Amino acid sequence: MEAPFLDTFMSKLDDDRRRGRRLRLRLQTKLIRRTGVILSMTTENLSSSGFYCHTSERLIPGEEFDCYIRLSLDHSASLKQVVLLCRGRVARVESVAADLCGVGCEIDDYLLVSE
């Protein structure tokens, strides 16, 4: 027996060719370039395989980086902060405005740690 509803639902998910489901999350991020330059930015969305953010710095597709993404799980002071430590690379760069770039980043490896 076929499940037409499930087929319809799954085909809509396949319309987005990116790996991983994206969540619209604005999270503080520190991206460390191989040159040692640290960029502060905020993610626009995040998935298990990458994130998208805006920056005034011009990054290069293929450029490797390390980054720290601070996850806010709860606003209560009793919960420790959680940080996502990532190693990744720039997948794409697009011009958003005269002084702003949109950057799609792939996450190659990550580790969750509490502060």
In the chain, the amino acid numbered 54 is H
Rg (Cα) of the chain, in Å, rounded?
A: 17
Mean pLDDT over all residues of the chain? Answer: 83
- Tell me, what's the pLDDT at 10? 46
Q: What are phi and psi of 31, to 5 degrees?
A: -105, 125
The answer to whether the CB of 83 falls within 8 A of the CB of 71 is yes
Sign of torsion over alpha carbons 105, 92, 64, 59: negative
More confident residue, 72 or 50: 50
What is the reported pTM? 0.76
The answer, yes or no, to whether residue 11 has pLDDT greater than 60, is: no
Of all residues in the chain, the percent with pLDDT exceeding 70 is: 75
Count of C-beta atoms within a 10 Å radius of residue 9: 10
**Domains in the chain, ordered, with CATH?**
22-114 (2.40.10.220)
Structure confidence by residue, pLDDT tens digits, 31-54: 999 999 999 999 999 998 999 999
In the chain, the amino acid numbered 20 is G
3-state secondary structure of 25: coil
The answer, yes or no, to whether residue 24 has pLDDT greater than 50, is: yes
CA distance 53 to 51: 7
For residue 105, what pLDDT band results from cuts at 50, 70 and 90? very high
